[in-house]
Amino acid sequence: MSSSSDSCIVRHEPALRQVLLSTEGEDHMVSVQIFGQTLRAIVEESELEVPINGQTTVKQLIEANPAQLGPLLQYITSREALITINKKIGSEDSVVNDGDIVKLSFQSRTSYDGNRDIPT
């Protein structure tokens, strides 16, 4: 009886190995959407597909893709960009996973700083 269970394991092992090998080479991507003329002007794109290697943060995603996203870092660190991930407000430390949609919108300091009067 043990020999039949062993043969059953042997039959499933190649299939499992094939599944593991087929997922290893897959590209993991994140969609980054850029809103506002200020951010679009520095990135020159309104939407980008960016590869990721597993779980990362918004800041790490930008730092890992300097050619595409590098100029955005100054707006992220100065809090002049609103970050959302899958329709939820995030920050530079928010976790990003495969298939997520990251949206970056420019916001000037005067638009959210409660200490200043907004000109009319």
Within a domain: 7:
no
Within a domain: 87:
yes
Within a domain: 8:
no
State how far the Cα of 37 lies from the Cα of 11, in Å rounded to an integer: 58
Within a domain: 94:
yes
Within a domain: 10:
no
- Quote the number of domains for the chain: 1
Best CA proximity match to 32, nearest among 79, 5, 69, 64: 69
pLDDT tens digits, residue range 22-56? 344 567 999 999 999 999 999 999 999 999 988 99
State pTM to two decimals. 0.69
Give the neighbor-by-neighbor strand order of the sheet with 29-35: 47-51, 29-35, 101-106, 81-85, 88-90
Within a domain: 72:
yes
pLDDT tens digits, residue range 60-106? 999 999 999 999 999 999 989 999 999 999 999 999 999 999 999 99
State how far the Cα of 74 lies from the Cα of 65, in Å rounded to an integer: 14
pLDDT tens digits, residue range 85-98? 999 999 999 999 99
Does 16 score more than 50 pLDDT?
A: no
What is the extent of the structural domain holding 58? 29-112
State how far the Cα of 103 lies from the Cα of 86, in Å rounded to an integer: 8
Both structure tokens of 80:
């002049």
Within a domain: 75:
yes
- Give 15 or 52, the one with higher predicted confidence: 52
